[in-house]
């Protein structure tokens, strides 16, 4: 196996792609994994946020192909400024403040 990027071993592990998979087999397995994860995110946001429940109401089911992403309308800054709380996926008291908790990256 020739590694194309330093991330390839991590991608293979994360997406459960065989170390021997190459070419079309690698691409198809990776795209299936990406599609599954995108659909999980869409499902989560539709179930847990008022904005995406309405914004993605036109979707009758999960995406069938990665190219279907083009059918999802953009989220604009005006959407966020109109009602930022519609984007919360958890109760407001579950949102943690990171202020003062961010640590410098140690090299």
Is the CB of residue 51 less than 8 Å from the CB of residue 87?
Answer: yes
Q: What is the pTM of this model?
A: 0.75
The reported pLDDT for the residue numbered 61 is 92
Q: Which residue, 71, 65, 70, is CA-closest to 32?
A: 65
Task: Please compute Rg for the chain using Cα positions.
Answer: 19
pLDDT digits (tens, 9 = 90+) for 76-85: 999 999 989 8
Cα angle 71-77-82, degrees, rounded to a multiple of 5: 105
**What's the mean per-residue pLDDT of the chain?**
86
Q: Provide, rounded to the nearest whole percent, the portion of the chain with pLDDT above 90.
A: 52
* Distance, CA of 88 to CA of 55 (rounded, Å): 14
d(CA 84, CA 76): 12
- How far apart are alpha carbons 46 and 39 in whole angstroms? 10
pLDDT band for position 2 (cuts 50, 70, 90): low
Q: Contact 45/56 with Cβ under 8 angstroms?
A: yes
């Amino acid at each position: 196996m020739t590694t194309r990027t330093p991330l390839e071993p991590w991608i293979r592990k994360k997406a459960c792609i065989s170390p021997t998979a190459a070419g079309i087999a690698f691409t198809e397995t990776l795209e299936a994994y990406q599609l599954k994860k995108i659909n999980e995110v869409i499902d989560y946001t539709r179930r847990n946020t008022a904005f995406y429940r309405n914004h993605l109401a036109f979707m009758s089911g999960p995406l069938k192909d990665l190219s279907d992403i083009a059918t999802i309308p953009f989220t604009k800054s005006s959407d966020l400024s109109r009602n930022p709380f519609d984007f919360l996926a958890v109760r407001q008291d579950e949102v943690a403040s990171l202020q003062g908790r961010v640590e410098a990256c140690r090299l």
